[in-house]
Chain A
Amino acid sequence: MARTLTFDLLTRLEGQGQLTLVLEDGRGRVERAYFQVPALRGFERFLVGRQAEYLPQLVSRINGFAPFAHHLAATKALDDLFQVEPPPAAKKVRELLHNVAILDNHLLQIFYLAGPDLFLEQAKDKRSFFGLGTSSKLGPELVKQVIGLRRELRGLLLLAGGKTVNPVIGLPGGIAKPLADPKRFQAAAAKALELALRTLALFKELAKDPEYMRLLRSEAYTAKTYYAGLVDAQGRLNFYDGQIRVVDPEGREFAKFPARSYPEQIGVHLEPWSYGRFAFLKGVGWQGFRDGLDSGIFAVGPLARLNAATGMSTPQAQAAYEEFSASLGKPVHSNLAIHWARAVEMVYAAERIAELASDPELLDPKVRALPTATPREGYGAVEAPDGTVIHHYRTDERGVVTSARFLLPVEANQARLNLVVERAARAYFKDKDGGLERVVLPLRGWGLSHG
């Protein structure tokens, strides 16, 4: 009989996950490993019957670390549902806030959650953010800069989005109130760019550490899957709008489609041992838990976005992207590279905030277009900090929800995370001495929020 070990208190992850290791009898070696979504809140079901205009607020509660992403995906789905085009200022304010929220979450993921793995000196004590200021390469001043920038960014979300966590701004056809003070966004963008470049420098420094690079390139943390992310008309990364571009494990374009086509492109596989669904590419098919060209498993998120895009639309982010690719190749298949990918995206977000905040159209007081059409069906996709989210709603003619469907990052990534966790567990887990930390490592930075 095989023996199983279950770990349900995993730490420094954005969301909850469970890990089960099946050990070979006698020898204590890992035979199988499972990453599981251990809970379910039932959003898709209980949203049925709700008034559609409340969806952006209701769905913010899917992920309290990425409430703006879900809020905006639902808001875009409502534009589509009510067939109404928001005024340009409304779209720009949405994108501006979305970039602020992504930048903020990237700071949280890199420094608070993954930081202790990346930057702590040999840990004497427990690994946590609290140690970063005193016993890491970063020093107290950088830690204060991180905390200070997050305070500033979250202050902007409050100011313009109504609330920091769980915004109140999205309405079909626009936003609830115009933006008041773009200067504060410009000032924050300059500070954000400085910190983003400092963060990037930390990763370039890490890349000189052979031990770290050996870990990053280790087969144990690698899966050669497909990748997906939103791109603009030129194929460059965009967080707010565009088409979903999918590349194969060799980096070639496999598909490009709008949110509306996702039911034809993406299917879901179920397993009795997880409440989370396993999304896969229908064009390749579900071939079980394996990677490669002939397996439909794909990933979303910062690493996947850089793999799926052809480049960045802002100059310093493009330079950062080129350095990232020159150091690690393209596509990059290591789960551990997600943190560096985030740093590249921080540069982009900071530059994009600066661009949008100086756009004169941003201040146009016209931020609503009233819907006149009868609602029927709507799709909305954005990039959440942790990956592509798609919302799909149907309503009756009163705008009361009859069907709600989501693609969540954890559903897209769950199969890949299973592959990597199993490889890591086989390589590093030892029954008696533990090694759990090295099995959890490739989950860090990958959002686990479930519906």
Chain B
Amino acid sequence: MSKPKVAFYWCGSCGGCEATMLDLGEGLLDLREKVEFVLWPLLLDSTREELEGLPDGGIDLALISGVMNNSAHEEMAALLRKKSKNIAAFGACAQLGGVPGLWNLFGLEAIKEHYSLDGSGPKQGEPGPLPRLSESVKPLDQVIEVDYYLPGCPPLPQWITIAFNALLEGNLPPKGTNFVPDKVLCSVCPRRETKPKKLLIPEVKRFHKIIVDPNLCFLAQGLPCMGPATRAGCGALCIRGNLNCTGCFGPSERARNYGTRALSALASLISYSDEAELERANAGLPDPAGVFYFYSLASLSLSHQEKRGHG
């Protein structure tokens, strides 16, 4: 039997997803014996012609990282969709739009103005037009149909390994599967015993203004935390680092709009008796969009699947 063919491509990516793939370490050498990487620009020489020359469906699994925010990303995503039996959105950008999804708070015109992109085309003898920037940043499933999700910013090697094992055993799960099991982070958090049930806090606090208690639930300290709505894919890494969960592993199935879920978990703890008190309480959260939609702002519009009615 021939080896499964795998592609790993980056669209609007910082490279962190590629870096985490290399964290397979020696495992990557073993993996390379079992699969054929037909495309992986970071690590392997290959050309667009070679990719275009593959038969439709000739790639068994294509992993795509990064956001979609220009015409070249969308063209490449479409080409890989055509060439691949299975597509996995790799990382928070491909799954949810990631940090660059915050672009959608402003839109293309504001971006162009800031970067002085006045639309003047290249002159005679200069290269042709650059890839066209999109009006908004999109996660992958707003551009093509996506079969699997490997969440995280970046995903962790343990989940990548599970995905590859499923491929190698010919045992890929049903389409739409997220390779990280559906538990919320609070359920595995080392501080879960101190999570408030009825406690009320007078105000939202900010990380730079207090010395954070390294053992107490962030919510109990009046600090925002995405733990109540985020999928537990990391073993609470940031929390062990003594900072809050910002939600990089994406939503639990039970909280599709996990930004709102986490925001309400915090909001429900705030105690106030009049509007002035409420205003004071909220002064510690001047940017709820940034704090609670750190990775997911671009996913708020309907996904490709939902638009087509099968998601």
A contact set with B: CB distance below 8 Å? 2, 4, 6, 8-16, 18, 20, 22, 31-32, 34, 36, 38-54, 57-58, 60-65, 67, 78, 82, 108, 112-113, 116, 126-130, 133, 144, 147-148, 150-151, 154, 158, 161-169, 171-173, 176-177, 270-275, 277, 368, 370-371, 398-400, 437, 449
Contact = CB atoms under 8 A, between A and B. Distances in A.
B268 interface: no
B290 A11 contact: no
Interface of B: 10, 12-20, 22-23, 25-26, 29, 32, 41-48, 51, 67, 69-70, 72-73, 98-100, 102-103, 105-106, 110-111, 114-117, 120-123, 125-128, 130-131, 133, 153-154, 206-212, 214, 237-238, 240-243, 246, 248, 283, 286-287, 289-291, 294
B131 A38 contact: yes
Contacts of B70: 38-40
Contacts of B246: 54, 57
Contact of A49 (B18, B43, B105): B105
A57 B247 CA distance: 12
A168 B23 contact: no
Contact of A41 (B100, B210, B289): B100
A345 to B, nearest CB: 19
B15 A161 contact: no
A6 B122 CA distance: 14
Contacts of A14: 15, 42
9 nearest interchain CB pairs?
A64-B16, A162-B241, A20-B127, A64-B14, A64-B15, A46-B102, A53-B208, A177-B242, A168-B241
A253 to B, nearest CB: 32
B185 to A, nearest CB: 14
A64 B19 contact: yes
A126 B44 contact: yes
Which residue, B20, B45, B98, has most C-beta atoms of chain A within 10 A? Answer: B45
A6 B103 CA distance: 28
Contact of B130 (A50, A144, A274): A274
A98 B283 CA distance: 34
A263 to B, nearest CB: 16
A51 B206 contact: yes
Contact of B208 (A15, A48, A162, A172): A172
Most B CB within 10 A of own CB, among A61, A151, A164 = A61
Given A50-B287, A130-B29, A176 B122 contact: no
A13 B209 CA distance: 40
Contacts of A173: 208
A432 to B, nearest CB: 15
Contacts of A150: 22, 25
Nearest to A43: B100
A272 B120 contact: yes
Nearest to A51: B287
Given A12-B45, A64-B13, A168-B241, A176 B208 contact: no
Contact of A147 (B10, B25, B121): B25
A64 B206 contact: no
A50 B15 CA distance: 23
B41 A41 contact: no
A116 B45 CA distance: 10
B241 A176 contact: yes
Residue of B32, B127, B246 with most chain A CB atoms under a 10 A cut-off: B127
A108 B43 CA distance: 10
A128 B32 CA distance: 11
A194 to B, nearest CB: 19
A162 B240 contact: yes
A113 B22 CA distance: 12
A162 B130 contact: no
Given A39-B72, A49-B290, A169-B241, 9 more contacts: A4-B128, A15-B15, A49-B105, A51-B290, A57-B246, A65-B15, A112-B22, A158-B237, A272-B123
B130 A275 contact: yes
B130 A61 contact: no
Contact of A32 (B102, B125, B238, B287): B125
Given A64-B15, A272-B121, A164 B211 contact: no
Given A9-B41, A370-B210, A2 B125 contact: yes
Contact of A9 (B15, B46, B69, B212): B46
B286 A168 contact: no
Given A42-B111, A65-B19, A177 B214 contact: yes
